Amino acid sequence: MKDLMRTHASLLIVGVATFVLMGAGQSLFGPALPVYARDFGLSDGQIGLPVAAFWVGCFLGVGFMYLHGARIGARHVLAVMALGTLPLTLAGILPRFGWSATLAGALVYGAGYGMATAVFNPRVMVAFGDRGPSMLSLLNATFGIGAIAAPLLFVLLGSNPGLTFGLVTLAILATLASAGPMRDPARDATVAITPFRPHWGILAFGTVAIGLEASFAGLGPTALIRAGVEETSAATLTSAYFVVFLLARVVLIFTAHRIAPFALYTLAVAAAAVCALGAVFLSPALFFVALGVSAGLFFPGYYVTAAAKMGNDPRVPPTIVASGLVGAIGAPLLLAPLMARMGERGFFWLVAGITLALLAAALLSARRMRV
């Protein structure tokens, strides 16, 4: 392991820095939206457009990686991310073009974000061999560091989106400057490239799980408020949820290589079902925070299983990520109107029903998903 760390230290260091900045950039959109609404005089229908632009950019970035991923490296994705955060930095000082710059920046930053997931996840997992799942968990855990820290920095800087995105831009450029050329372990001459073979079963499991993860973060605070939690407390509980999410990823650093990946996925689904039922019948606040454990486990269990089933063709990582993005965009759109019709704890009833059905499907598919 020490030899692998020395060989791939640059890949891991730049990957960790990139994922911290990915978490920071994405998490800033939430607190920035009310500021944009005030500064640009937005209607209710316009407020969510930067987030929509971000996810559209993610799809475009992943689609580009599907077509040209073999030629893309760390420097490319960092450059695209910086090209996205730069307009977000300048938006506050360009009153005439601020809103257009914000949407353009969110789109381009999202493209860099999507490209980064398809560059670093497979390379880190392949580079570290048997410890690959654990190092993948480490990489994705660092995303949570940025997601927790950036909103706090936003508050410290007087709730100024331009200034906060400016610091993120400087950090991206600093990482870009330090990122040397990196060998892609998956493209090593001694590694045979396997045929591209989509596995629709695991992709479907990933779509649902990542859709749930996105719904926990996106709809969870609203669900808590509907369940009687005060708005300020809901915000605090959301921060606690992300802390638990991060802790779950940290634990995986030391345990993921010892657990079969689909067993990890199934365990995460079972835990989510228990927490959803706990939120329905006991405490929405306590069990919402506990859902952070499942959210932290979904992606590693899904990604490692899918990669093992689908091979190392350059089109595989973008396909895995794109499947998750379908869920991340679609699930909140489907669940939001349903939860509004199902009473105070409707969201948690929905999560309970989905996770119980998903758990049954996972148990029935356990033999076919072994890797």
**SS3 label, residue 222:** helix
Q: What is the CA radius of gyration of the chain?
A: 20
Residue at token pair 């990946």: 261
* pLDDT value for 99: 87
Pair of tokens at residue 262? 């689909």
Pair of tokens at residue 294? 């499942």
**SS3 label, residue 200:** helix
pTM of the complete model beyond 0.85: no
Dihedral over Cα of 153, 157, 162, 163: its sign: negative
Which CATH architecture group holds 2-182?
A: Up-down Bundle (1.20)
The residues, any chain, with a CB within 8 Å of residue 53's CB and separated by 6 or more, are 103, 104, 106, 107, 110
Contact (Cβ atoms closer than 8 angstroms) between residue 299 and residue 202: no
* pLDDT value for 200: 80
- Closest by CA to 287, choosing from 263, 271, 265, is 271
- Closest by CA to 199, choosing from 325, 110, 52, 323, is 323
Contact (Cβ atoms closer than 8 angstroms) between residue 352 and residue 335: no
* pLDDT value for 189: 43
All CATH 1.20.1250.20 domain ranges of the chain, comma separated, are: 2-182, 200-364
- Closest by CA to 18, choosing from 87, 73, 99, is 73
* pLDDT value for 8: 57
Which CATH architecture group holds 200-364?
A: Up-down Bundle (1.20)
Q: What is the pLDDT along the chain (371 residues), one digit of tens a residue?
A: 454 455 456 778 888 899 999 988 887 876 777 778 788 887 756 666 787 788 889 889 988 887 776 678 888 899 999 999 999 999 877 767 788 899 999 999 999 999 998 888 878 877 777 666 777 777 878 888 888 888 888 888 887 888 999 999 999 999 998 876 655 555 554 555 667 677 788 899 999 998 898 788 767 777 888 888 886 677 678 778 878 888 888 887 777 677 888 898 999 999 999 999 999 999 999 999 999 999 888 888 888 888 888 877 777 777 888 888 888 777 777 887 787 788 888 889 999 999 999 999 999 988 888 87
**Degrees, nearest 5: CA angle 5-317-335:** 120
pLDDT tens-digit map of 210-264: 889 878 876 777 788 888 888 667 767 877 887 888 888 888 777 767 788 889 8
* pLDDT value for 281: 92
Residue at token pair 């450029």: 173
Tell me how far the alpha carbon of residue 270 is from its chain's centroid.
Answer: 21
